[in-house]
Amino acid sequence: MLVTGATGLVGRRLVGELVRDGASVTAPTRSPQRQAPQPGVSYTRWDGRHVEPGALRGVDAVVHLAGEPIFGGLPTAARRQRMWESRVDSTRAIARAIGALAEGDRPRALVCASAVGYYGDRGEERLDESSPPGEGFLADLCVEWEAAAAEVEAQGVRRVSLRFGVVLAREGGALAPLSRVFRLGLGGRVGSGRQWFPWVHVDDAVGLARAAIAGDDYRGAVDAVAPECVRNAEFTQALARAVRRPALLPVPAFVLRAALGDIANELLGSRRVAPRAAQAQGYAFAYPEVAAALTAEIERR
């Protein structure tokens, strides 16, 4: 198994689960010599776009989770370019490297990250994998990202694009800074609070990735979101209860737009997404409800 983004929020837990299952994992990294030894894991060099061809030969599946964080800084032209290259260009490079392998050496599956940003801002519309893409930078990015991954299908390789919602994990992502703010009593809804907020507990993000690796019936786009999509105000109240603090200070939309430009629409936009494909495959969510998911991560030791 080859997993990019193996030290990231989902990748770290996924690699641990795969190794516990007895799999051998190859993890591409810019500095293989600096990685601490880990049983069941070997490291190979990459530059953020190109994996060494030998690392792909004969692996059972490739899981591509790496990418520049969307909210990792101001949305400058340079950061936008890094977001694009680390997702679209790297995925296309991996797909073409797979296609260059002899048929018997190709992995049987490419499981690639994507995001619910694919849908843009859709208000009250009910969305699932059959819905068309929306508008905006992240929607355009996701369309090209998934198209790059789909190139492997012409080579007889099964492709899954996991459209992740906001991943709830104590150690990082959106939840770590949010919970710190809320513990100070400074948290509150974002904008109107009416926008739909698709989320997924990190254990289910990992579980869906594992299901996509193993299940030949998982193909194409799969919404990696919990079945209970909530409004931003509901999420805010659930987080406030989990940290036992009030949520009194809403964040005005103009403040976010001043700080983030049009990337702010990824927080202010509404996406009422349901995990139809996963449910059709019988995936059982460990955390289908947001209150239990937040409590589990806030109280995790």
Q: What is the CATH number of the domain that holds 18?
A: 3.40.50.720
Strand pairing class (2-4; 220-224)? unpaired
Whether pTM > 0.85 for this model: the answer is yes
Q: Check residue 77 and give its pLDDT.
A: 85
Beta-carbon neighbour count of residue 261 at 10 Å?
Answer: 14
Give which of 262, 237, 258 is closest to 178, Cα–Cα: 237
The rounded Cα 140 to chain-centroid distance in angstroms is 16
User: Would you say residue 102 lies in a domain?
Assistant: yes
Beta-carbon neighbour count of residue 25 at 10 Å?
Answer: 21
Q: Check residue 301 and give its pLDDT.
A: 57
Residues 6+ apart with CB under 8 A from 85: 48, 49, 68
Q: Check residue 283 and give its pLDDT.
A: 97
User: Would you say residue 294 lies in a domain?
Assistant: no
Give which of 62, 69, 50 is closest to 117, Cα–Cα: 69
- For residues 23 and 213, give the distance between their C-alpha atoms in angstroms, rounded to a whole number: 12
Strand pairing class (220-224; 61-64)? unpaired
- For residues 3 and 159, give the distance between their C-alpha atoms in angstroms, rounded to a whole number: 15
Contact between 19 and 41 (Cβ < 8 Å): yes
Q: Look at the chain and report how many structural domains it folds into.
A: 1
- Please give, one letter per residue, the 3-state secondary structure of 230-247: EEHHHHHHHHHHHHCCCC
Q: Check residue 69 and give its pLDDT.
A: 80
User: Would you say residue 237 lies in a domain?
Assistant: no
User: Would you say residue 173 lies in a domain?
Assistant: no
At 24, phi and psi to the nearest 5?
-100, 130
User: Would you say residue 150 lies in a domain?
Assistant: yes
Burial class (CB in 10 A: 0-12, 13-18, 19+), 237: buried
Which range marks the domain in which residue 20 is found? 2-168+198-228+272-286
pLDDT by residue for the chain (301 residues), tens only, comes to: 999 999 899 999 999 999 999 999 999 998 888 888 889 999 998 988 888 878 999 999 999 999 988 766 677 888 889 989 999 999 999 999 999 999 999 999 999 999 999 999 999 999 999 999 999 889 999 999 999 999 999 999 999 999 999 999 988 778 887 788 888 887 888 888 999 999 999 999 999 999 999 999 999 999 999 999 999 999 999 999 998 988 887 877 776 676 666 667 777 889 999 999 999 999 999 999 999 999 999 887 5
Q: Check residue 278 and give its pLDDT.
A: 98
As beta bridge partners, residue 112 has: 64, 161
Q: Check residue 220 and give its pLDDT.
A: 98
User: Would you say residue 293 lies in a domain?
Assistant: no
